[in-house]
Amino acid sequence: MHSDQNTPRRRNRPAAWAGWLAALATPAMAYEPATAAKGVVNDPAAGWDHLWHEVIVDITVIGIIFALVMAWFLVKYRAKAPGEVGTAKPLSLAGAIGWAVIPIFVFLSDDLYVAANGWKLWNDYRDVPADRMEVKLESGMYSWDYTYANGVQSQNELRVPVGKPVLLRMTSRDTLHSHYIPDFRVKEDSMPGRVTYIWFLPKAAGEHVVTCAEYCGVEHSYMAGKIIAMPPAEFNAWLDKEAAKLAQAGKPAA
């Protein structure tokens, strides 16, 4: 645990509750905790994908069940002659309660299970790996301005080393923006007067789109950038070269 007030902290109590709720809802489908063993960094993108897949499967199964029951009722209770009046007896009290409570219990427990998993994943996600690279980000109409720890700056283009968690500490110089990196499944508002954070794990070399996901003005839709994930040696060489340029320009590099 970190003592710095601005350092992302672990919050265990909600996670414990979420775990408990998940266990209560469906003990047979116990969620695999996202908190990794020592030295192993979980990829949050994989966690969000897993949760999304779970939601899609669940609503599909529930949808099919509802459709089948409805189709069966439609056929079973169809009118067999014009002007026919139904003859079904009213439900007994136990029948009425059963029809209301059993479906609610079944489908609500699934809702609860998915919600608990989302809650747990979010809490795990907010706990940033200690071995990380930190970059400051100031957003403004209409650019993303990154500053590395050694003072090197870049605009709308963030180079990062493969295999290391990257933490962005963000603020805004004007209005509300939202730093969204779809490939890494992460998005967080950056706001004036406040520092928020977001982290992701680049696993392979390549480029990823960054876009603003909070309407911030007429050129909001042009507020795009990219993350360039590079092999660590290449990244370090690039960063050193940029730092040397900075030093040569007479600005302090640290």
Interacting residue ranges for Cu ion, rule: CB under 5 A: 177, 212, 216, 223
Of residues 52 and 222, the one with the C-beta less far from Cu ion:
222
Amino acid at 74: L
Q: Least distance (Å) from Cu ion to the CB of residue 182?
A: 15
Of residues 51 and 223, the one with the C-beta less far from Cu ion:
223
Of residues 120 and 179, the one with the C-beta less far from Cu ion:
179
Q: Least distance (Å) from Cu ion to the CB of residue 249?
A: 29
Between CA 226 and CA 181 the distance in angstroms is 9
Q: Least distance (Å) from Cu ion to the CB of residue 210?
A: 11
Between CA 128 and CA 199 the distance in angstroms is 7
Q: Least distance (Å) from Cu ion to the CB of residue 220?
A: 5
Of residues 112 and 191, the one with the C-beta less far from Cu ion:
191
Q: Least distance (Å) from Cu ion to the CB of residue 216?
A: 3
Of residues 169 and 177, the one with the C-beta less far from Cu ion:
177
Between CA 110 and CA 116 the distance in angstroms is 10
Q: Do 197 and 135 form a contact (C-beta atoms < 8 A)?
A: no
Of residues 114 and 223, the one with the C-beta less far from Cu ion:
223
Q: Least distance (Å) from Cu ion to the CB of residue 186?
A: 16
